[in-house]
Structure 1
Amino acid sequence: MADSLPFSQACENNRQPILEQLGQVLTEPATVLEIGTGTGQHAEYIASRLPHLHWLPTDHPDNLWMCRQRLEQADLANIDDPRLLDVGNRPWQLPPFDHAFTANTSHIMAWEEVCRMFEGVAERLPVGGTFCLYGPFNYHGTFTSDSNRDFDRYLRARAGHMGLRDIDQVTALASELGLALKHDAGMPANNRFLVFEKIR
């Protein structure tokens, strides 16, 4: 039953704002890689409302089980079978994709894993393809809100490798890999929606 499916209240809260951003950026038929599909709520919601996108859900081997039942029940023709993806294990064994999307992963991953994620995306994106990231970020070494500062403290207490990333650090990493920041939108709950385009 749907009530027994893994559920994230954060996904429920942010799915519509994310849909609106993706709908503006991804206007043409394309395959979209989702890194860190989690419960599958984003995949189900976005794919059902943007049928011109073919959704490729992936997650770490420890977490992939969380999305399977939801996506099987959704039975949407434009969602691929969920696939294993450990971002640090390259080359990625995935079909071709035109764009990539991830939500609330960069502050959970270690910084080294964030680097591997960007490297893997940059390696596979075609020129003109985009990498869309949703989540909280610091700006120029400063928290953008007290709630983000508290969230960062909470994450670091859970595990030392976690924590909010700084936009300058992320943008510099992306630039080295041929990804240019083209869009930075404010989102509810002090989050951001970043769009990097593959330019070389």
Structure 2
Amino acid sequence: MKREKYLKPILIVISAPSGTGKTTVCRELLKRNPDFRLSISATTRPPRITEANGVDYFFLSNEEFMDKVRKGEFLEYEKVFGHYYGTLKSTVENYLKEGYSVLFDIDVNGALKIKEHYPDALLIFIKPPSLEELKERLKNRKTDTPEQIQERLSRLPIEYEKSKLFNVQVVNKELQETVLNLEKIIREYQRKLDYVSQ
């Protein structure tokens, strides 16, 4: 999608239950929108086979992560499913200074913390078409044990409750339709912010 020249950069925070397709949606948005940059989170979890350090995450040891916490280098951080995840302040600030909108692929708690620091951030919650489809997607990923899948599903009520504080909720039924819908929502939000700031 072509960017309108006058639109100022914003923070776009996308959260969703595990297995909803959030990361795939984010990748597609990044491909289609050259004015977006992904805020790469730091994490203590081990990389998956397809993941690369500095591309998908900054993979850190517990000691490295906690050192950055002590130094106040995180905008937000949290322990999720036994591993720490966090957003580095420097990454976000540098992208904004360069004129890019920053796209976040983080959980609901991290999203709400971002909103505390940046009240104009656009929070988008992506829902699965159904609980049955979500269970199927989690099984088909083959990255989690049955216990881990159950743990992820047990978080749904909390995630859905917190998603009520988001700007918008979108069902991810079909990837291209979801991406087009999100682009429309994002550009309308940018235009609204530009109008308000004039």
TM range (shorter): 0.3 to 0.5
Structure with a larger share of its residues in helix:
2
TM-score (norm 1): 0.41
TM-score (norm 2): 0.42
Higher RCO (C-alpha 8 Å, min separation 6)? 2
